[in-house]
Amino acid sequence: MQRIDGAAIAAKVLEETKKRADILIGRGIRPGLAVVLVGDDPASRAYVRSKDKKAADLGFHSVKKELPASTTQAELLAVVEELNRDASVHGILVQSPPPPHINEAEIVRAIDPRKDVDGFHPENVGKLAMDDPTGFVPCTPMGCIRLLAEAGIETSGRKAVIVGRSMIVGKPMALLLMRKGPGGDATVTVAHSRTKNLAAVTREADIVIAAIGRPHFLGTDHIREGAAVIDVGINRVDDPASPKGYRLVGDVDYDAVAERCAAITPVPGGVGPMTIAMLMSNTVTAAERL
């Protein structure tokens, strides 16, 4: 069994990104990333801090805007428009999820597609569907593709099952695996909460991408011998033995299925580090294009 070390692969991506950023900085262009946080959700705040620190470590121009939970839709749109006009900012990310009164879809559409380093703007989603390389690809699915490549897992001609159909992971993941060329050419099934006999579907897969957001949902019944598993899930479960009172687990029961897998990502330390690494890579790409 190959344990896919997402932290080590993310470090490699960041090293590549730093070299690209240094070239731009040498030409007088400092990649700029703006992260906007509305409200005080502890998990979102920690994630924003992590992104801000990583951007600073890479030598980026880093902008962090923390807005109160009472921020209105109009006020948030005004902040986005200000960042759209700011020539020193090449990438804009509004941390999800925002407070309930914020229409997130409208905020995403307001971001300049050329600065949409999250890859969620309809223009970038359309470009992904049309195999147009000038768009931005969502960071987590792109990170999953890189993990498969670095682990030497062939996708061409293989059966891939994605469990989850979100716009953040499931749908873009399917489009990436279906693309022609390296990292693609797979036969893809997207399963979800309405899929009948899910275990029978996932047992057919050479590659399983778990992105359903339910702790340890996939077990030995779901994974066949020799499959590769990419676990996107990050779930908090109570653990009185932990100093924090909880621990992080994936959507896959790692301990139960690991030994039967050809390769598997752990949680934490698998997909998570790749998401931030790919965000930094997208930001440099945006700076290179503008």
- Any idea which residues carry the catalytic annotation? 51, 95, 118
Minimal CA–CA distance to 148: which of 158, 138, 134?
A: 158
The length of the chain is: 290
Contact present, 204 and 221 (Cβ < 8 Å): no
Q: Can you read off the two tokens belonging to residue 103?
A: 């229409």
Q: Are the C-beta atoms of residues 235 and 251 closer than 8 Å to each other?
A: yes
- Going 102 to 103 to 104 to 109, the CA torsion angle's sign is negative
The Cα–Cα gap between 73 and 80 comes to 11
List all residues 6 or more positions away from 228 whose beta carbon is below 8 Å from its beta carbon: 148, 151, 153, 206, 207, 208, 261, 262, 263, 264
Give the count of beta carbons closer than 10 Å to the beta carbon of residue 5.
17
How many whole angstroms separate alpha carbon 179 and alpha carbon 177? 6
Q: Burial of 123 by CB count in 10 Å (0-12 exposed, 13-18 middle, 19+ buried)?
A: middle
Pairing mode, if any, of strands 263-264 and 246-249? unpaired
Query: Which H or E element spans position 187?
Result: strand 187-191
End-to-end CA distance of the chain: 43
